[in-house]
Amino acid sequence: YTEEEQTEDYLFKIVLVGDSAVGKSNLLARFARDEFYPNSKSTIGVEFQTQKMDINGKEVKAQICDTAGQERFRAVTSAYYRGAVGALLVYDISRRQTFDSIGRWLNELHTHSDMSVVTILVGNKSDLKDAREISTAEGNTLAEAQGLFFIETSALDSSNVAAAFQTVVRDIYNILS
């Protein structure tokens, strides 16, 4: 064996799910490229981005899938979810409507992927303190009721963005290894 062949190759498919404009594409842009788009439209979405991560000293690859904005039309296809082992279920802490949609997105996720998909509820835009409509406690309560991890993030100021992705990937790794 060459050294390369000896390293185990993990590739985990992770999907970003949630209402339009909650910040899914910017979370991925911040995590994978350390970029942020202040006035992004749905067009900035990439289909997916493969990101190398270090989990317990092992190299793990996450294939993180983003929508191209089709969630606006409720037309995210089953192909998007197929084979996913992890999901970030994203809402915007400054828009209650996006939090109210979480149940629907969770149903869709479970319809199209395995029930055991490792899922984290993500309250994004935590930098918008004055516009907050969903308290941290409320997010936490929903996550506990649904058996999800929970975190609040800001793609704008970077807080907890890496942690959100790492939580999911680490849990998948621990289950599979």
Interacting residues with ligand GDP (CB under 6 A): 20-26, 37-40, 42, 45, 124-125, 127-128, 154-156
The reply to whether 45 sits near Mg ion by the rule CB under 5 A is yes
Judged by beta carbon, residue 45 or residue 86, the one nearer Mg ion is: 45
State the minimum distance, in angstroms, from the CB of residue 31 to Mg ion: 14
- Take residue 120 and report the two structure tokens written for it: 């984290």
Nearest to 26 by CA among 127, 135, 142: 127
Contact partner at residue 166 from Mg ion, ligand GDP, none, CB < 5 to 8 Å by partner kind: none
Question: Cα torsion for 71, 74, 75, 81, to the nearest 10°?
Answer: 70
Q: Residues with Cβ < 8 Å from 65, sequence gap 6 or more?
A: 13, 14, 15, 16, 47, 48, 80, 84
8 Å CB contact between 15 and 79: no
Contact partner at residue 98 from ligand GDP, Mg ion, none, CB < 5 to 8 Å by partner kind: none
8 Å CB contact between 134 and 91: yes
Judged by beta carbon, residue 124 or residue 166, the one nearer ligand GDP is: 124
State the minimum distance, in angstroms, from the CB of residue 41 to ligand GDP: 7
Judged by beta carbon, residue 24 or residue 125, the one nearer Mg ion is: 24
Q: Residues with Cβ < 8 Å from 135, sequence gap 6 or more?
A: none
State the minimum distance, in angstroms, from the CB of residue 21 to ligand GDP: 4
| Residue in the shown chain whose Cβ atom is closest to ligand GDP | 23
